[in-house]
Structure 1
Amino acid sequence: MSEEPDVETIGTLLEDPTVRTILTQTSQEPMSATTLSDRCDASKPTVYRRLDDLRECGLLVEQTKPDPEGGHHRTVYATNLERITIELEDDGLSLRIDRRTDIADRFTDLIEGI
């Protein structure tokens, strides 16, 4: 994602109950689109659209996990969202998104900062 989303984009996204369920469920553990479809009680196309929207805003990451039963791999989704803060300022609303980082990302940031 090259640019942070604005308040309107995030507000519209969070207005959707499917989005809220996806964020809540994937904060507990990574899940496949099929599992999310069941948990959200929504069609797979709807879930995939919401997953795309969340990834575009940088609120969700896609991961590839080995599938020991099928011998291949599967795609799962996990939120990297820690907190969204909207503040009222003199010139309008400001948005701050705090994201989780995993140990590999923190190490990369450390090395790049040297």
Structure 2
Amino acid sequence: MGLSLPSPAIGYHLDPAAEHVRRVEDETAIQVLLEALNDPDCRDILDATSDVALTAAEVSETCDLPLSTTYRKLDHLTDAGLLEEGTRIRNSGKHTSEYRRLVESVIVSLTPSGETALHVANRRDAERIGSPAQ
């Protein structure tokens, strides 16, 4: 899966001042984000949507998940600010939602004072920078 940290993870540097990086400070937002990353199905969805936007049906098929589970996971990932939802325009006029991974990396670190710091680097090519978790 494509979400593993570069090896070795120690020494990996993320510039928190970069415009595509945001610090997540709200405890509820941190919890939602970490719960999503702890879920293997959510990680599979993030991997599947890293290169191409997929509809819920495509995610369901690609990740071998029931459609009802897929919708729950997509909602959770979108609420966590890890996926963005767009609209796939169809010639038939029956448009559908599609999803793609919004983030490039999530870094959890400890500050010198022992507090947890969480930084999210959004993909530089994302149409939308930021999320409700900001």
Task: Report the TM-score range of the alignment, normalised by the length of the smaller protein.
Answer: 0.7 to 0.9
Structure 2 counterpart SS, 1:9: helix
Structure 1: how far apart are the matches of 2:128 and 2:73?
25
CA contact (8 A) 1:80 1:101 kept: no
Partner in structure 2 of residue 67 of structure 1: 90
Q: Does 1:87 align with 2:101?
A: no
Structure 1: how far apart are the matches of 2:126 and 2:102?
13
> What are the superposed Cα offsets for residues 5-50 of structure 1, whole Å, 9 maximum, x if unpaired?
21x3322211211101110111110001011111111111111111
- Among 38, 43, 46, the alignment partner of 1:23 is 46
TM-score (norm 2): 0.67
Identical-residue share of aligned pairs (%): 31
- Among 67, 78, 97, the alignment partner of 1:44 is 67
CA contact (8 A) 2:102 2:126 kept: no
Partner in structure 1 of residue 5 of structure 2: none
Which stretch of structure 1 is more off in the superposition, 36-45 or 70-79? Answer: 70-79
Is the strand fraction higher in 1 or 2? 1
Structure 2: how far apart are the matches of 1:24 and 1:57?
16
Distance verdict in 2 for CA 1:96–1:103, change over 3 Å? closer
Is the helix fraction higher in 1 or 2? 1
Provide the aligned C-alpha RMSD in A: 2.1
Structure 1: stretches of 5+ with no match in the other structure: 107-114
Structure 2 counterpart SS, 1:72: coil
Structure 1: how far apart are the matches of 2:32 and 2:108?
12
Higher relative contact order, chain-length normalized (CA < 8 Å, sep 6+): 2
Distance verdict in 2 for CA 1:73–1:27, change over 3 Å? same
Which stretch of structure 1 is more off in the superposition, 30-39 or 9-18? Answer: 9-18
Q: Does 1:33 align with 2:56?
A: yes
